[in-house]
Amino acid sequence: MTIMYNPFDPDYVKNPYPQLKALREEEPVYRSPIGFWMLTRYDDINTALRDTERYSVDHRNASVMVVEEQDPNYIPVILFRDPPDHTRLRKLLAKAFTPPFVERFRPRMLALLDGLMDEVADKGEFDFVKEVAEPLPYLCISEMLGMPVEDRQTVLGWTSDIVNVTEPVQTPEVTQAIADSRNAMRDFLVDVVAHKKRQPADDLISGMIAAEADGAGLAPEELIDHIILLHVSAHEPTANHLAHGLLALLRHPDQLADLRSDPGLDTAAEEEMLRYEAPLQLTGRIALEDLEIDGHKVDKGTPVVMSLAAANHDPAHWGPDADELVLRRHRAGEHLSFARGIHTCFGATLARMQGQETFGRFVRRFPDVALAGEPEWNGRLNGRGPSSVPISVS
């Protein structure tokens, strides 16, 4: 039987797991007709994510589907840098974006969440994505960075374009929109950074400006590109996660009831919901040498795509109930949704904090929450998620 990975299938958009299961069982090291390899097993992906000797994140190492620096798809940020440049950048960013800095923001995040819930409390029916899942992470990262309040909507428009840089397939129109919005946001941030240099504050941009390692800080272009990266990576994937998570709870009323009745479950539930639906479905590497994976020869320079969603549902790691939502799952924190190794998601602490607080707080505030219609989907491959989750509350 020939297996075909087809993320454009309408059924895949709604539920990719049957197709991913078939790949994992029958062709776990899958050769796409367009040239890349795809891994779907937990152990294969977990091993590859930690291997910086044989795999690269730098697109310039690809021998096919090459992305040049002048191409608008190429952004020279930490996501696409190998050591030693990656090591230097992570060390600098870690001086500003620390777990204690994020934790200090928790009371403000809770206030923002409560404010959003207050706004919808009397509506009866509303779209959870538009009213809560999208605005919460955007308001959080905007405030943490110290961005001008009056420009939030303009910046949101730019980042909504730029987020498509992580999508493996783009139309010429989308590619141009990424470039235009990135250039506009770069120009805007020149003035923001200049202001922060004159008037430093207790915010992330000021911390990034001040950060030094081995006697050097971020270059001006690096600083601006990483401010853009934090906007994009801390907003869209977390919005996806919050939307996925509430939808999963509404489809598993027994799990929702368990969470509602036990606030002590909030942290463990967050890990299981990250496992159940990865905020980003895929990650990729470039083979730095000829590889053999489970008997398959992968040529140097070939892209290797890793399905985090498939790995997170692999019964070889999770057991026979891998496709079920089990909030009290043992070892749920071993999910690969934030990757592994040196490229573990830099914003994982912030994303976790929002999930830990939002799900339980929301279902306890609205004990009669229910789906009020079918969800709609955003059409993305990597950032697959609900664009609308209509709900009713009372």
pLDDT of res. 69: 45
Per-residue pLDDT tens over the stretch 86-95: 999 999 999 9
For range 353-362, the mean pLDDT: 98
For residue 280, is pLDDT > 50?
Answer: yes
pLDDT of res. 304: 97
Query: d(Cα 73, Cα 164) in Å, to the nearest integer?
Result: 9
CA-closest candidate to residue 128, choices 282, 277, 249: 249
Yes or no: is domain 10-368+385-392 CATH 3.40.50.2300? no
For residue 328, is pLDDT > 60?
Answer: yes
Q: How many CA atoms lie within 13 A of 57 on its CB side?
A: 24
pLDDT of res. 75: 63
Per-residue pLDDT tens over the stretch 364-383: 999 999 999 999 999 888 98
For residue 174, is pLDDT > 80?
Answer: yes
For range 200-207, the mean pLDDT: 95
pLDDT of res. 119: 97
For residue 294, name the pLDDT band (cuts at 50, 70, 90).
very high
Mean pLDDT (the chain, rounded)? 93
Q: Kindly list the domain boundaries of the chain, sorted by start residue.
A: 10-368+385-392
pTM: 0.93
pLDDT of res. 272: 98
CA-closest candidate to residue 271, choices 343, 320, 346, 328: 328
Query: d(Cα 84, Cα 105) in Å, to the nearest integer?
Result: 31
pLDDT of res. 165: 82
365 contact partners, CB below 8 Å, separation of at least 6? 117, 121
CB atoms inside a 10 Å sphere around CB 110: 15
* Intra-chain end-to-end CA distance of the chain, in Å: 50
pLDDT of res. 56: 97
Task: Enter the DSSP assignment of 28.
Answer: S
Q: How many CA atoms lie within 13 A of 286 on its CB side?
A: 18
For residue 74, is pLDDT > 80?
Answer: no
pLDDT of res. 68: 45
132 contact partners, CB below 8 Å, separation of at least 6? 113, 116, 117, 120, 242, 358, 362
For residue 170, is pLDDT > 90?
Answer: no
pLDDT of res. 387: 96
DSSP string, 249-282: HHH-HHHHHHHHH-GGGHHHHHHHHHHHS-SS-E
Query: d(Cα 145, Cα 227) in Å, to the nearest integer?
Result: 8
